[in-house]
Chain A
């Protein structure tokens, strides 16, 4: 294994790292004394250039122009770098979404630590890239910690809210404990497997050691993915963090987290092995759907509502994960992607609106928005209806695929508890509940006419483009999901 191979393999990440340091350096060096807006624009531009460079490099890697010997790399790094068509595409998607977060962050910057803010965003993006390309217990854990630490710090960077620091501390404490659980579980899993590389590892059955290992791993990842009963940090953090950071916690880290969960569950694909941990997954799925959807009903703050919706959606994802089939894994990942796109879009609109109000928006603050900002209202309509699972938007196909895959695993129905019919029924019941609170937002936006002072300051071209791209993706993935579904099925699972 020579260094040129590693260099070509990590070229995209190198772009991001260089951009990260460039942003810090330019901000400290040349832009001393410049206004916040100028510094933010400069940092966002540098970060954007880095991510675009990374995306170009990834495109070359994907098309084969930049040859990466994925297999040799996989063996040489013990699964720490698994670069194939599937993982590279996932990494590219995360970088793309990260690129879309930057203009939002540049728009709403309020902290004096401008370059750190963007550096942390890039660092989190970088970590997510590693999370989805690592199939090594330790490598994946380190990547996850890179993401988590960046996100803790980002949460604290909202001086406009005193609660920001409190939420960051809460997030950090919960997250730290979760990491400890995860690491402990990983150590047991390492003991059972005898290796850190999980690319080829399979467990024919689950001895007690493995069950304990997965118990801890699921608790740890449950915290990270905001699955009930480990969700308690999520509403506070989503509400208090700067909105673009909250958006990135809800979207990018969700995709990476689900990919990691699926990778870690990889060794237990055999029925004899997974039966022991299925009850725990079922419990988390049902609890998340119940807590998330019922909790969201009473929220007045939009970001808090989206936090509860995140909990609920993590529960939906588990519906397909418990199927323990390739279709289930593909469905879980596909749903994580469409959910992330829609929720990122919703946060983007909320972020613009928070900015105009100068405070955290309540649902009531969206009254009559259709009059002054028809474009934003329409975008929010698309994102919220996708989250609610209304066709022809991506969220509908995503949910359908989840349920399809869940039942596909055991389609026989002789008795009501056979297969996952009951779980799908529970999920459907809660998606009816969910429609209620999603419509509450849309009611404020479209139905209400009254609102005293409506600010319609311009969104700005970069942020508007980001929102438009997300909305188009949401529609496109709903109308024509086949290419993406097919890609995930062929290359990832």
Chain B
């Protein structure tokens, strides 16, 4: 029941925020913080009580028996890190949007509707229920981006929704095919996992479902919604998009596509790995070419999600553990990067163009150092969670995948170093290269120091960076549970 509280709190919070008057934005943000905090607390309780490796906290109710649908929730070691990351990002998202006053009631109504949907996906043990929550999460994203977003927001929001909805259409077809092929008249994932679907069916349905979910995970060539959507979104929404929504897709790939169709997975795993490597390298190279700071982070998300897909493609315990850990890791760090760029730096400099940033290292030293640490954590600095997860993924890849794929992934890692360092240089250490202000140095506001981080911003950074550091230093806190549950899933592969 505690796990279910995450969903309940979020939807109740959405309702309360939506019903409050818009002018009360100071009170609304406290309600929002409380809601997100309660969700995180519930997720944290789940983590403390979890013993593993099977499903726990299972709640089972009949819902639409005439279509074999039950209301079935529970969580295991695979969903647990994702519940935690959702809670962390939800709290941090509120902290980094602390100053929001424009239609705040509606903002948090959509925000928590989205978060409730995300928790729902991670907790659903019934395929239909999972799909319902997956779709509930779509519409709030549209409004969050289209109403509160930046440049080209309506286009980006529509594109994101079209891609998500298109993906879910593929998932629905696969869902129905599996339901009827099983002959069990249930969407219960635990029951469906015991069925040996015919290999012909698996090799047809697996790519349909995998691609359907992977669109939301930002798989190349369906990734283009991601950088645009992330960049156009307001900070809290881009944190959620990068931090948890992309994980919905990856989670679906892992739990549903791979979990239900082992034979299909084995047939298609090399292709998954190839696309994953394209993701890693393409995302990194594209990030290198970007001029808009948010696009850099957007493409780096695409690149990091490549590691998640690569880990799934290994079909190896170590690699897949790395994939789940990478979901957690990129969830906190990706969200933090968006927060740093979208709120902390943007509200001070009023620009996201790297060309226009001017000697930030001197003008906002504290923020610059924090950003550099976060960026290095994202790059895979030892001590942070990203290092552990990428290492696990690469070890898994060594074990099962062809050497050239591993080498290509290694090249991707190098490219990640490349763009991270290059962009840090461009943003913080370089004199402004364009603009008329470079010539006349007596422009007063051009050189003024920026105010330091506010308290909510510091709290948000501490929360997310602390989580990444904790898991980076003590990865066993999560990996034991992840590996235990994954082992159950992988038992069917032999």
Contacts and interface: CB of A to CB of B under 8 A. Distances in A.
A413 interface: yes
Interface string B133-161: 00110110011001100000010001001
A431 interface: yes
Contacts of B154: 443, 447
Q: Which of A400, A401, A442 has the most CB of B within 10 A?
A: A400
A485 B138 CA distance: 26
Interface stretch (B173-181, B371-379, B410-418, B445-453): B173-181
A443 to B, nearest CB: 6
B434 to A, nearest CB: 33
A403 B64 contact: no
Interface residues of B, number: 33
Interface in B168-188: 169, 172-173, 176-177, 180-181
A428 B66 contact: no
B143 A421 contact: no
Given A414-B200, A421-B173, A424-B173, A432 B165 contact: yes
A396 B132 contact: yes
Interface in B61-102: 63-67
A413 B142 contact: no
B407 interface: no
Interface in A445-493: 446-447, 480-482, 485-486, 489
Contacts of A481: 64
Interface stretch (A64-72, A249-257, A353-361, A384-392): A384-392
A425 interface: yes
A421 B161 CA distance: 24
Interface string A239-250: 000000000000
Nearest to B117: A391
A431 B169 CA distance: 9
B136 A413 contact: no
Given A401-B67, A439-B142, A428 B172 contact: yes
Contact of B161 (A404, A429, A439): A439
Contacts of A370: 106
Contacts of A170: none
Contacts of B67: 400-401, 404, 485
A291 interface: no
B132 A411 contact: no
A436 B138 CA distance: 13
B169 A404 contact: no
Contact of A447 (B146, B162, B172, B173): B146
A408 interface: yes
A489 B65 CA distance: 12
Given A435-B165, A439-B142, 20 more contacts: A385-B139, A390-B135, A391-B131, A391-B132, A392-B136, A396-B135, A407-B180, A411-B177, A413-B201, A421-B177, A431-B165, A431-B169, A432-B162, A432-B166, A432-B169, A436-B158, A446-B143, A446-B147, A482-B64, A485-B67
Interface of A: 370, 385, 390-392, 396-397, 400-401, 403-404, 407-408, 411, 413-414, 421, 424-425, 428-429, 431-432, 435-436, 439, 442-443, 446-447, 480-482, 485-486, 489
28 contacts: A370-B106, A385-B139, A391-B136, A392-B132, A392-B136, A396-B135, A407-B176, A411-B181, A413-B181, A413-B204, A424-B173, A425-B169, A425-B173, A432-B165, A432-B166, A432-B169, A435-B162, A435-B165, A436-B158, A439-B161, A446-B143, A447-B146, A447-B147, A480-B63, A482-B63, A482-B65, A485-B64, A485-B67
